[in-house]
Each structure stands twice: as C-alpha cells, then as structure tokens.
C-alpha cells in the first residue's frame, strides 16, 4: 500500500486579538491507500483544523498554515492554487461533517446537489448524472432512491440525510474521504448502520478514510491506524491493535477509560479530570501535565517529543524516555 497523504510538520495558527492560537502545532501523519486513519481526541485538540488545513478551508484571516507540507498524491497542497484545490475538493478528496444540514443546501433537492457534484467533476451530462445520483443513493441504502432524489434535505431523517451526504461525497470516487465526527449527531442504532455503510463502501472502492472522532469505540470498529491528538499535537500513534492492547500515553489511557461501557452505567465516571488547556495560555512543558496523574518534575519544564518506542508505535511522553 502506497502513501496517499503525508502531512509533515504542519503548523496552522490563528492570529487573534488576544494572541496566537497554535491550533495545529507541528503535526505529522500519513494515510496509505485503502487505509482508515482514526484521528482521536477531545474537542479543541486540533483534529478538525488538521482536516480543514488539507483542503485549504482555514478562514484566512485569522487562520494560516504557517509551516509544513501536505503531500497528497505526490503534490504539496499547501502550495496549490485555489483553482487546483477546487478541482481536488469534492473530487479526489471529499468531506463529510457531523451535521449534514450544514453541508447540504436546504433550498436544493438531494438529487440536484449530487448531480452538481458529478457534473462539476466528471465528464457527464445531466441525464447520466441523475442516473448516477440515483445509483449512489441506492448504494448507500436509501430506500425508494428514485423518489428521494427529488426530496429536499429537511424531508429526510437525520440518518437518511447522513446517507445522502455520503452518497454525495462518494459520487466522484474520491481517493480520500475525510469524515469529521460523521455519526456523532446520530442515535446509537443509526450510528452503527452508518459505520457499517462506510466500512462497506471503503472495502468496495478502496477509498482511504481520515476518520475524526472523540469516540474510541468508533475507532475500534473502523480504523486501521490511530493518531491521538492533544492540544494541537500528536501525542501517540500506532496501529489500532497496538493502541488498544498497549496504550502508552496517559492521555490515551484516560480516553480509553472514559469510553462508555455498554450496559454499564459508567459513562463519565472515569473521564479525564480537568480540561483541554486554554490555547492562549498553554502550560509549560508537557501540555497534558496539569491533568496527568503521572506527571514528574521534568514534565512541567520540558515538552516531550514524539519518539518511536517500538515498531510503528510513537509516543510523546517523558515516561518512555528511557525506552529505545
């Protein structure tokens, strides 16, 4: 499997009146062809900003990619022109968000929106594009697709809207699908169905997925490889088995413990104490130290670097400094 996306030392900052927010601070990660990368962390850890940086969706000002490379399909997207990015967006790279109502236009039918995406990026006339739109709606498991194609977004349930969104995202056979909390707004049963659908589509199309979530349960079901982010930095990275079998970073351990356990009223009992630090007032040393039960003196002074502790398992924590 070749590398499809490789982010190297990305820094995306926001210049506000109150100071500089380092939303993405020296992040490196990569996604192989056909792979699902889970990007995990609490909200405000820089996951979405990393994803938005890929497609140049960062509002500028106040945001700006200040450093780093985003190599996609052999090309550095940080250097691409707006025109080049427009050709890639919705074509080679598609995005789905948590709440499809924000990405689907309420005044156009579902079909119109899928057809527009197809006509824009593929050499197809409207009639053919409409057939393809209906096929896509069928593919994502929408019943009566030939009627739904003429429905407006508000006429569909939340789960059906998310399916329609996925149909639109997949209509141009993207090489990379960025899914930002795709199931968070849905109830548990619908969530499971949407995850099944995404896994199915991935297996059929070999599309790579960057799956952004705060939910390690979703990661366990979907991801091949996992990146854990905290306060704009990658704090741990490994394949999915390793992350669950041998988690190392105290933040990852905290996330694993705060995962709600089915049939047990444990939700929130074990959640990590404290909050993500104020980005305008980051602590010295390890950003996690005010919340870490294992913090040592060095943690309050020195920021730990992301180091390889064993094959393909990297962690940024002073506890593992000795390990080589």
Interface residue list for ligand SF4 (CB under 6 A): 249-250, 286, 288-289, 292, 294-296, 299, 304, 317-319
Q: Which is nearer to ligand SF4, 46 or 153 (CB)?
A: 46
Residue, CB closest to Mg ion: 48
* Strand pairing report for 313-315 and 307-310: antiparallel
Min separation Cβ 217 and ligand SF4, Å: 23
Q: Which is nearer to ligand SF4, 10 or 299 (CB)?
A: 299
Min separation Cβ 65 and ligand SF4, Å: 27
| 53 is a site residue for Mg ion (CB under 5 A) | no
| 109 is a site residue for Mg ion (CB under 5 A) | no
CB 172 within 8 A of CB 122: yes
Min separation Cβ 299 and ligand SF4, Å: 3
Look at residue 48 and give the partner it binds from Mg ion, ligand SF4, none, a contact being a CB closer than 5 to 8 Å depending on partner kind: Mg ion
Closest CA to 177 of 154, 204, 158, 152: 204
CA-CA distance, 262 to 273, in Å (whole number)? Answer: 22
Look at residue 288 and give the partner it binds from ligand SF4, Mg ion, none, a contact being a CB closer than 5 to 8 Å depending on partner kind: ligand SF4
- Outline where 171-280 has alpha helix (H): 188-205, 216-222, 240-245, 250-257
Q: Which is nearer to Mg ion, 73 or 99 (CB)?
A: 99
* Strand pairing report for 3-16 and 19-32: antiparallel
Q: Which is nearer to ligand SF4, 159 or 285 (CB)?
A: 285
- How big is the CA angle at 3 (ends 124 and 94), to the nearest 5 degrees? 35
Min separation Cβ 28 and ligand SF4, Å: 19
Closest CA to 46 of 72, 65, 33: 65
CA-CA distance, 8 to 26, in Å (whole number)? Answer: 8
How is residue 61 written in tokens?
Answer: 């000002």
| 183 is a site residue for Mg ion (CB under 5 A) | no
Min separation Cβ 41 and ligand SF4, Å: 14
């Amino acid at each position: 499997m070749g590398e499809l996306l490789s982010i190297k030392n990305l820094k995306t900052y926001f210049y506000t009146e109150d100071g500089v927010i380092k939303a993405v601070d020296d992040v490196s990660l990569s996604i192989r062809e056909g792979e699902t990368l889970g990007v995990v962390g609490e909200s405000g850890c820089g996951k979405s900003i990393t994803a938005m940086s890929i497609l140049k969706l960062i509002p500028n000002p106040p945001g700006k990619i200040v450093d780093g490379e985003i190599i996609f399909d052999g090309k550095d997207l940080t250097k691409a022109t707006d025109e080049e990015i427009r050709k890639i967006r919705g074509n080679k790279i598609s995005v789905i968000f948590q709440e499809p109502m924000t990405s689907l236009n309420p005044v156009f039918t579902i079909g119109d929106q899928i057809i527009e995406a197809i006509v824009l990026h593929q050499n197809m006339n409207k009639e053919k594009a409409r057939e393809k739109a209906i096929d896509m709606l069928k593919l994502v498991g929408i019943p009566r697709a030939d009627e739904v194609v003429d429905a407006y977004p508000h006429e569909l349930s939340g789960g059906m809207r998310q399916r329609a969104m996925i149909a639109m995202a997949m209509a141009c056979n993207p090489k990379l699908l960025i899914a930002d909390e795709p199931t968070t707004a849905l109830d548990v049963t619908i969530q499971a169905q949407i995850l099944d659908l995404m896994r199915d589509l991935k297996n059929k199309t070999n599309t790579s997925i960057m799956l952004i979530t705060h939910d390690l349960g979703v990661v366990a079901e979907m991801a091949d490889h996992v990146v854990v982010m905290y306060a704009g930095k990658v704090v741990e990275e490994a394949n999915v088995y390793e992350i669950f079998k041998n988690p190392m970073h105290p933040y990852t351990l905290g996330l694993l413990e705060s995962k709600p356990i089915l049939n047990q009223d444990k939700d929130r009992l074990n959640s990590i104490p404290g909050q993500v630090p104020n980005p305008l007032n980051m602590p010295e040393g390890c950003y996690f130290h005010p919340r870490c039960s294992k913090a040592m003196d060095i943690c309050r002074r020195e920021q730990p670097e992301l180091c390889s502790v064993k094959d393909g398992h990297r962690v940024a924590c002073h506890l593992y400094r000795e390990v080589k």
